[in-house]
Structure 1
Amino acid sequence: MTTLFNSSQEIVFVLHGLNVTQTNRHIYFVFILVLYLFTIFWNLTLIFTIFLEKMLHDPMYFFLCNLCINGIICASSFYPKILNDILFDSHVITYIGCLTQIFFIYLYIYCEFTNLTVMAYDRYVAICKPLHYHCIMTIRKAWSLILLTWLFSLLEMTIGIVLTARLPLCSVDIDKFYCSNWAVVKLSCVDTTPNNLYGFIFTSYHFSQMILILISYVNIIKASLRSQAGRRKFMQTCLPHLITLTNFVISLLFDVMYARYGSNTSLLALRNIMAVEFLVVPPLLNPIIYGMNLSQIRNRARKIKVVALR
Structure 2
Amino acid sequence: MYYVIVFQICVQQPMDNLTFTNSILLMEGLKVTSQSSQPVFILLLLTYVFTMVSNIGLIFLISTEKNLHDPMHFLFCNLPLNDILGTTVIMPRLLQDILRDTSERYISYAECVIQAYFVHVFTVACHYVLMIMAFDRYVAICNPLYKIENPFCDNASLFKLSCENVVINNVFGLVYTIVVLSMSAMCIFITYVKIATVCITSKNKTLNSKAIKTCSTHLAVYLIMYVSGATFIFLHRFPEYSDSRKLASIMFHIVPPGLNPLVYGLQTKEIKQKIVKLWCRKK
The reply to whether TM is greater than 0.5 is: no
TM-score by length of 2: 0.44
Q: Normalising by structure 1, what TM-score?
A: 0.40
Bigger relative contact order (CA 8 A; separation at least 6): 1
Larger radius of gyration: 2
